[in-house]
């Protein structure tokens, strides 16, 4: 068990906030906590969950994770806070810092997350913004390492929309030694991520194939256009046949069978998606321990 952490007291807003050694420490501790899930490492600690967008996995895995570590989590629905009646974000963040040990924030604009981090004196964790989803990327890297034994030189093919999840997954690859190449339609590329047009070009020989919803939270008004533009980017058995024979598929969920992925692939024997979802719990517990213990 790691007792001295360079992450203590820090924020995790983007993958770039981590060093390679810190990212590896999160994965290593996640494996230890997966083996011994109920250890009172955060007894008495409280995590706030400020979620301005829907969530199933992130909210529940953070809540269950805190309970397993002997701490507690409090859901902070924006509409129930005085914030929604005009109290400022800085005043809310200052007051919450007096009660909580850490705050996980899911919101639209990354700048709003940065404001929470600026005004709160406790660690702030990005639980998803339109720009990044670092907790998801940590779970994804653990899932790949679990299956392949190492991340070094692993070829990850991303197919479809260049979402927040892709940005974090590719940034983490630069820290941990796997390579992400994306196939996205014009206009759907992710900033800073190498991309091509044809999904077959990235899946050919890939070790891992990853996709995400075609309609992320906040993109609902573009639904019709997105379904048309992304139609050639569905992950199906024919596309997967081009990948390495042992290749597996990941998806952060929620999935939309028949849109970005077929039901056969989602529920098939090459799907690592359900292990990936569980790994959210283990990496976030590790992250909380490293951020909160001195």
- Where do contacts with ligand NVA occur on this chain (CB under 6 A)? 128, 163-165, 212-213, 216-217, 252
Cα–Cα distance measured from residue 72 to residue 281, given in angstroms and rounded to the nearest whole number:
15
* 57, 133, 251, 282: the active-site residue: 133
* Strand boundaries in 65-154, DSSP class E: 72-76, 102-106, 124-126
Cα–Cα distance measured from residue 175 to residue 15, given in angstroms and rounded to the nearest whole number:
9
82 catalytic, yes or no? no
Which residue lies nearer to ligand NVA by CB, 42 or 156?
156
DSSP code per residue over 203-259:
HTT-SEEEE--SS-TT-GGGHHHHHHHHGGG-B-HHHHTTS-TT-EEEE-S---BTT
Q: Which partner in ligand CP, ligand NVA, none is near 74 (CB below 5 to 8 A by kind)?
A: none
Rounded least distance, CB 104 to ligand CP, Å:
11
Rounded least distance, CB 226 to ligand NVA, Å:
12
Which residue lies nearer to ligand NVA by CB, 251 or 285?
251
Cα–Cα distance measured from residue 134 to residue 12, given in angstroms and rounded to the nearest whole number:
8
Q: Which residues pair with 124 in a beta bridge?
A: 103
Q: Which partner in ligand NVA, ligand CP, none is near 56 (CB below 5 to 8 A by kind)?
A: ligand CP
Rounded least distance, CB 83 to ligand NVA, Å:
22
136 catalytic, yes or no? yes
133 catalytic, yes or no? yes
Rounded least distance, CB 190 to ligand NVA, Å:
11
Which residue lies nearer to ligand CP by CB, 252 or 286?
252
110 catalytic, yes or no? no
Rounded least distance, CB 94 to ligand CP, Å:
27
Which residue lies nearer to ligand NVA by CB, 68 or 163?
163
280 catalytic, yes or no? yes
Interface with ligand CP (CB under 6 A):
55-58, 128, 136, 252-253
* 212, 251, 282, 284: the active-site residue: 212
Q: Which residues contact 291 (CB under 8 A, 6 or more apart)?
A: 5, 7, 8, 9, 10, 12, 102, 123, 125
Which residue lies nearer to ligand NVA by CB, 5 or 164?
164
* Main-chain dihedrals φ then ψ at residue 10, nearest 5 degrees: -90, 170
Q: Which partner in ligand NVA, ligand CP, none is near 5 (CB below 5 to 8 A by kind)?
A: none
Residue 42 to residues 22, 49, 136, 243, 291, Cα–Cα distance (Å)? 19, 16, 22, 42, 11
Cα–Cα distance measured from residue 207 to residue 211, given in angstroms and rounded to the nearest whole number:
14
Helix or strand holding residue 162 (H, E): none
221 catalytic, yes or no? no
* 11, 57, 135, 136: the active-site residue: 136
* 251, 252, 282, 284: the active-site residue: 252
Q: Pick from 282, 284, 289, 287: which is nearest to 37 by CA?
A: 282
Q: Which partner in ligand CP, ligand NVA, none is near 64 (CB below 5 to 8 A by kind)?
A: none
Which residue lies nearer to ligand CP by CB, 59 or 270?
59
* 68, 280, 282, 284: the active-site residue: 280
Indicate which residues carry an active-site annotation: 106, 133, 136, 212, 252, 280
């Amino acid at each position: 068990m790691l007792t001295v952490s360079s992450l203590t007291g820090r924020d995790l807003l983007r993958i770039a906030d981590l060093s390679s050694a810190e990212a590896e420490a999160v994965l290593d501790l996640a494996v230890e906590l997966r083996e011994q899930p109920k250890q009172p490492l955060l007894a008495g600690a409280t995590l706030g969950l400020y979620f301005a967008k829907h969530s199933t996995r992130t909210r529940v895995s953070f809540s269950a994770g805190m309970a397993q570590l002997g701490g507690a989590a409090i859901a902070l629905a924006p509409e129930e806070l005085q914030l929604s009646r005009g109290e400022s974000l800085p005043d809310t963040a200052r007051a919450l810092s007096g009660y909580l040990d850490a705050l996980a924030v899911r919101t639209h604009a990354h700048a709003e997350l940065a404001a929470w981090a600026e005004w709160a004196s406790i660690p702030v964790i990005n639980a998803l913004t339109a720009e990044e989803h670092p907790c998801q990327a940590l779970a994804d890297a653990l899932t790949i390492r679990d299956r392949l034994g190492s991340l070094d030189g692993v070829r990850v093919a991303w197919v479809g929309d260049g979402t927040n999840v892709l940005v974090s997954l590719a940034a983490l690859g630069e820290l941990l030694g796997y390579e992400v190449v994306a196939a996205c339609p014009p206009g759907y590329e992710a900033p800073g991520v190498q991309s091509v047009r044809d999904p077959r070009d990235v899946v050919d020989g890939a070790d891992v194939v990853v996709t995400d919803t075609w309609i992320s939270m906040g993109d609902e008004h573009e639904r019709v256009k997105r379904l048309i533009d992304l139609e050639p980017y569905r992950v199906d058995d024919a596309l997967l046949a081009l990948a390495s024979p042992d290749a597996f598929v990941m998806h952060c969920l929620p999935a939309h069978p028949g849109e970005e992925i077929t039901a056969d692939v989602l529920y098939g024997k090459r799907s690592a998606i359900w292990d990936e979802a569980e790994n959210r719990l283990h990496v976030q517990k590790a992250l909380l321990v490293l951020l909160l213990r001195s």
